[in-house]
Amino acid sequence: MRQGERLVPHPTKAAIAAAFGSLDTGLTLVGGTWWPDRPGTFAWVMLTVQAPACASVAFRRIAPLTVVGMLGTFTLAVTLLISPAGVLTPAHPGNAWAPLATVLAAYGPLFYQQNRRTAYFALAAFTLVVMRPWEPSVTNLTVGLLRTAVGPLLALHFDTRRRLMQALVERAERAERERHLLAGQARAEERARLAGEMHDVVTHRVSLMVLQAGR
């Protein structure tokens, strides 16, 4: 794959990213996350920043850790603006601040990132930011854990399935190569046997001709 093709997300991924961006924006405006009753400048700025942060999931295959970093940074910024900065005052303080796009972002590191140790470290930090354990509540901990656990579990499942399919394909290809090698070896042995028989026949005929010529 050419470098230019790798930098362009698939149209389906772009459409999914746009859908998540729209969904998160709408959910925020109706008070489903961190939106205040009386939004000020900071609220509108953060809402504007949220859209590209959510849309970054279109690049989860190309740069999964960057996508996790963007959404994690956004969620942490919103959390700090709420407390201790006090710049934002959510209409519903018990809501989770992280966008729904975090579910899709958490899928990327374990499925696309080759270094599993780095992926686990990034997801652990991401989970802490989303769960907000420094403000413990059943809603924060449960919703946060679900949003960052479902993606990795699906990624591990599909990655295991992908590896199994690759192993089966490699096994079938190896069996096919071995079959061709055995068939070639069998043909070579058959040619050698026929050549030996022809040599014996020719030698016998020449011997008969010599005997007949000597009488």
Over the stretch 188-210, which tens digit does the pLDDT of each residue have? 888 888 887 787 777 877 777 77
- List, in order, residues 6 or more apart from 111 with CB less than 8 Å away: 64, 155, 158, 159
Question: Tokens representing 138?
Answer: 């059943």
pLDDT at 2 over 50: no
Mean pLDDT of 2-30: 75
Cβ burial, residue 20 (10 Å; 0-12/13-18/19+)? buried
Q: Provide the residue type at 196 as one letter.
A: G
User: What are the tens digits of pLDDT across the range 48-65?
Assistant: 999 999 999 988 888 899
- What is the model's pLDDT at position 215? 60
Mean pLDDT of 114-138: 86
Domain segments of the chain: what residues? 3-165
Query: CA 210 to CA 212: how far, in whole Å?
Result: 5
Question: Tokens representing 153?
Answer: 């579990």
- What is the model's pLDDT at position 9? 59
Mean pLDDT of 7-31: 82
5 band by pLDDT with thresholds 50, 70 and 90: very low
Q: Quick one: how far is CA 122 from the chain centroid? A: 15
